[in-house]
Amino acid sequence: MTAEFAFLVGVAAAEALKGAGRAAPTVLIGRDTRRSGGMLTHALTAGLTSRGAHALELGVLPTPGVSFLCRSLNAAAGVVISASHNPFEDNGIKFFSADGEKLSDTLELEIESYLERAGMLSAVTGADIGLSERYNRQEGHDYRDFLVASGPDLTGLKIGIDCANGASYELAPEVFTALGADVHVIHADPDGININTGCGSTHPEAIQRFVQRENLDLGVTFDGDADRALLVDRSGRLITGDHMLAICALYRHEQAVVSTVMGNLGVEHYLEKRGVSFYRAAVGDRYVHEMLRAKGLSLGGEQSGHVLFLDKAPTGDGILSALQTLSAVRGSSRPLEAWFDEIIMYPQTLLNVRVAPEVKARLAEHTQVMAALAQASERLNGEGRVNVRPSGTEPLVRVMVEGRDQLMIEQVARDIAAVVEQATL
């Protein structure tokens, strides 16, 4: 991700938004703590303003905060410069619509078409050039106020927070403190390089150790842009997005929820025994969101802690998800560890098999692979589940097997992986 490319994205976005009916569209720009974030913000701002759009720079802010402000500030669009849970050297540009949702396919294609001809546009000059401003949080429309209003009274709880040296490093401690918690913070000292490094939701062992060492009541850990969160109980046990989905579903009296093909079978069985239907979408919050909309539902999410509460916000929000889960826990008058003990997770194992691109693209056509999957399902005999899917970004096939017996699922996964490997020959 280069400054030159970010500039062109700004040019293309401004033209596409003007074509969608906004004469001088205002675009919000937020970012996480990566070193390249400032550079890319300035380049994107230059591209937007060079084509007559106005840029409102939000500074470091969690991804869902940009989504929230799109609606409250009546912006034409929002942009987040972040690579989420990836290493610091990566970065990306993510757009939100005026409603705080992901852009429509139509507008995305329009931006892409302008990217190809950005250098051929006639110049914008004089008073037609856009404005660039910095957002002043003190003027209202505050995302922090929304989060505090969404949370329970946390008085009396000692809570550990791992900010992943990312976008939540100031906001999350403020919110939990405002709700009355005795907050103990780690990894809230970003230097532009240390985001997600040995910390945050991709390394939950950090908060697990911290909670146990400091004798805390629970812990919360975010990823770099704070659109996902995981919890830890007082014993240091990890509360995944699957747990959070189940806890909130029961407390909110949901009729049905949406997970993904990677959602734990134990949670599916737990909820269905309690009258909650369990739907599975493809991996990715976009697909969870689409299925929620299609079925008229509010609650869905992924194991990673990316949970959607569509009655609260149009996108995944780590701080909101943690607060909603703790609202359910507090409202149930049962501690987090009691929920953990009740929701029995099935063991899962995941193997990544490197394959040739043509094998990845036509996996379902390999009869040996399909036969291995049928045999695996027979061996699991209704007490487990197999999911084999191509990676969306790498030349890999991911083999996931889950069931009651850890040794069996590991062997089944190895057997399937061996057949997939042979399919590459």
Tell me which residues are annotated as active site.
84
Return the amino acid letter for 268.
E
How many other CB atoms are there within 10 angstroms of residue 352's CB atom? 12
Which tokens belong to 79? 């942009």
- Continuous segment of H or E residues that includes residue 159: strand 158-162
Q: Which DSSP symbol is given to 122?
A: P
Return the amino acid letter for 209.
R
Distance CA 28, CA 79 (A): 6
Return the amino acid letter for 122.
S
**At 364, is the secondary structure helix, strand, or coil?**
helix
Q: Which stretches within 74-170 are classed as H helix?
A: 105-115, 143-150
Distance CA 161, CA 141 (A): 25
C-beta separation of 31 from 60 below 8 A: yes
C-beta separation of 363 from 397 below 8 A: yes
Return the amino acid letter for 220.
V
Q: Which DSSP symbol is given to 329?
A: H
Return the amino acid letter for 408.
M
